[in-house]
Chains A and B, each alone.
Chain A
Amino acid sequence: KAGVTQTPRYLIKTRGQQVTLSCSPISGHRSVSWYQQTPGQGLQFLFEYFSETQRNKGNFPGRFSGRQFSNSRSEMNVSTLELGDSALYLCASSLVLAGEETQYFGPGTRLLVL
């Protein structure tokens, strides 16, 4: 089975722009979660989508949003980029069955905001 894929892998943007990141989960997985990883704040949960609905949300401003499509693929969008948004953005998918809650991660998208 193919793993979680994320595109693009690297991205450079300037302040004020917006960006969209994409995540394709493992086949059959219906839950997709997003995390932000920075040297200062570590790994922080952004949000989770399940069956096209946002099920959980972390403590991030409204500039961060996401969605999930009927094929479980997910996108996250960051509007009005700030320098502090530079980070590695990780996507993870899971089956969401009793005993199968393990999250499997993609390779990440490294975003640099100049």
Chain B
Amino acid sequence: AQTVTQSQPEMSVQEAETVTLSCTYDTSESNYYLFWYKQPPSRQMILVIRQEAYKQQNATENRFSVNFQKAAKSFSLKISDSQLGDTAMYFCAFGFSSGSRLTFGEGTQLTVNP
């Protein structure tokens, strides 16, 4: 079975600064996907970024980027130029290439302070 671990229950950062959220996972599969979702107070789950395991290049989406270390089974999210709207619960998730079933970490509550 797959497991996803987020070891930082809470983090805070000053507006405009950079913050990194950690995620580790465990799987015996070689073909899979990793995702970061954010869940603001509205509870809407929003996709932030995704990474295919077969790609060596780290994914980037505007201010969001990942550091994917396949051998170490590590998948951290870096948020640059943090904005107040980034305040949310962030979940790391693992999925198979066939999609459909995601395994989530426990979440990291990120607060961006003005």
Chain A residues in contact with chain B, CB under 8 A?
31, 33, 35, 42-43, 45, 48, 50, 55-56, 58, 88, 90, 92, 94, 96, 98-99, 101-105, 107-108, 110
Contacts and interface: CB of A to CB of B under 8 A. Distances in A.
B45 interface: yes
Contact of B100 (A43, A96, A110): A96
Interface residues of B, number: 25
Contact of B45 (A50, A55, A94, A105): A105
Contacts of A42: 104-107
Main secondary structure, interface of A, reads strand
A101 B31 CA distance: 12
Contacts of A90: 45
B28 interface: no
Contact of A43 (B91, B97, B99): B91
